[in-house]
């Protein structure tokens, strides 16, 4: 049974089990295959640098080593802040009610990289309560140290939840744009001057 989220909007509680939208079904997918001379499909493998052993798919795993090079079980590790204090886990969003009250502008929403989209089957009253606004709240599927940013919005009378992270963009300032424009102008002027024929005929 799918886990359900409980939203508290304008003092009224609404529950829904998110339905993940498969982007492959919407946009399709591409797959690259390597074909051998006998037209058989090649398999992807890895090679150990030290021994030259060929490792089949699934033969490599992640592990943790101490500063002494000793194996460390993940269950014994603790997450700490820069000052050394232990960080606590954020509770799963499915373990309690989520108060929906913080609205954001479309610009703030578009400044995020969306990873997953969910459809929320809710009654018309919930859709009307959200309206044309875009609401945001912290989200995590299970207890974890890191939270994603979630958004609620309505499209075609359907409520959607989108989760992701804030994107970082490198922007040019107006001063930098003007500087680039001036440099281009100077280059054009130099090219024009070099084409002028000062010889007398």
Strand partners for 118:
20, 161
The answer to whether residue 31 is domain-embedded is no
| pLDDT tens string 11-22 | 999 999 999 998
The residue to which tokens 């989209």 are assigned: 117
Q: What pTM, to 2 d.p., does this model score?
A: 0.66
Strand partners for 114:
164
| pLDDT tens string 78-122 | 888 888 888 888 999 999 999 999 999 999 999 999 999 999 999
The answer to whether residue 11 is domain-embedded is yes
| Domain of residue 13, residue span | 1-20+87-170
The answer to whether residue 27 is domain-embedded is no
Q: What is the predicted pLDDT for the residue at 56? A: 86
In sequence order, the 6+-apart residues with CB closer than 8 A to the CB of 80 are 86, 87
Number of domains in the chain: 1
The answer to whether residue 40 is domain-embedded is no
pLDDT < 70: residue spans in the chain? 1, 170-201
The full DSSP string for the chain is ----EEEEETTEEEEE--EE--HHHHH-------B-TTSPBPPP-EE-TTT--EE-TT------B-TTS-B--GGG---B-TTSPBPPPBPPGGGSEEEE--EE-HHHHHTEEEEEEEEE---HHHHHHHTT-EEEEEE-SSSBS--EEEEEEEETTEEEEEEEEE----PPPHHHHHHHHHHHHHHHHHHHHHT------
Q: What is the predicted pLDDT for the residue at 124? A: 96
The answer to whether residue 36 is domain-embedded is no
Strands 112-120 and 158-166, sheet pairing: antiparallel
Beta-carbon count within 10 A of 141 CB: 13
The answer to whether residue 109 is domain-embedded is yes
The answer to whether residue 162 is domain-embedded is yes
Q: What is the predicted pLDDT for the residue at 51? A: 87
The answer to whether residue 150 is domain-embedded is yes
Yes or no: say if 115 and 164 are a contact pair by the CB < 8 Å rule: yes
Positive or negative torsion for Cα 21, 122, 148, 105? positive
Q: What is the predicted pLDDT for the residue at 192? A: 47
């Amino acid at each position: 049974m799918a886990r359900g989220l409980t939203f508290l909007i304008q003092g009224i509680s609404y529950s829904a089990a998110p339905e993940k939208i498969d982007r492959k079904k919407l946009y399709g997918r591409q797959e690259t295959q390597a074909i051998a001379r006998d037209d058989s499909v090649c398999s992807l493998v890895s090679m150990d640098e030290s021994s030259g052993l060929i490792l089949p798919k699934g033969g490599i795993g992640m592990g943790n080593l101490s500063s002494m090079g000793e194996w460390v079980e993940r269950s014994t590790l603790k997450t700490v802040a820069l000052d050394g204090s232990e960080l606590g886990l954020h509770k799963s969003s499915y373990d309690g009610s989520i108060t929906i009250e913080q609205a954001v502008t479309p610009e703030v929403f578009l400044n995020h990289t969306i990873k997953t989209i969910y459809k929320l089957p809710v009654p018309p009253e919930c859709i009307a309560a959200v309206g044309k606004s875009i609401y945001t709240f912290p989200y995590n599927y299970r207890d974890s140290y890191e939270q994603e940013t979630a958004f609620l919005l309505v499209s075609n009378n359907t409520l959607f939840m989108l989760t992701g992270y804030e994107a970082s963009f490198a922007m040019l300032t107006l001063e930098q744009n003007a500087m680039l424009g001036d440099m281009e102008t100077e280059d054009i002027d130099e090219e024009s001057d070099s084409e002028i024929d000062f010889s007398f005929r």
